[in-house]
Amino acid sequence: MARVKRGTTTKARHKRVLTEAKGYWGRRKNTIRVARQAVEKAGQYAYRDRKVRKRKFRGLWIQRINAAVRTEDLTYARFMHGLKLAGVELDRKVLADLAMNEPEAFSAVVAQSKDALSKA
């Protein structure tokens, strides 16, 4: 049976890892063992932080809505409760955008929320 040399497979695998490690500092960019560890850890951070980014944006939207609602003499929790009672189904991303870029439209939404709260 013929002998199989596996250099090409190993070289391809190493090349893939080292390409991902481009720009890293020290031996992390050119030594396969260290580079593999660095690339794996970077992947773990990337996976985790894709979820963390969503959390952070939701928190930012809530802060922006709260700041805008406070100028209308209302709290965030009461405002959101009023929206639910009024049947307004705008998500926090849209509400935060309205609060920042279109204050008149946001004031109308706040008025709807206040009206629903006063009726309840």
Q: Give 46-94 pLDDT, tens digit per residue.
A: 999 999 999 999 999 999 999 999 999 999 999 999 999 999 999 999 9
Residue 34 has phi, psi (to 5 degrees) of -70, -40
Residue type at 74? L
Q: What is the pLDDT of residue 4?
A: 80
What are the Cα distances from residue 57, in Å, to 9, 28, 29, 60? 43, 32, 33, 5
Instruction: Report the CATH number of the 8-119 domain.
Output: 1.10.1900.20
**Mean residue pLDDT across the chain:** 95
Q: Check pLDDT > 90 for residue 5.
A: no
Say whether pTM exceeds 0.85: no
Please report where in the chains the tokens 């960019």 appear, as a residue: 29
Tell me the per-residue pLDDT of 36-46, one tens digit each, with 9 for 90 and over.
999 999 999 99
Handedness of CA 20, 24, 29, 34 (dihedral sign): negative
pLDDT for residue 25: 96
Residue 95 has pLDDT above 90, yes or no: yes
CA distance 13 to 36: 10
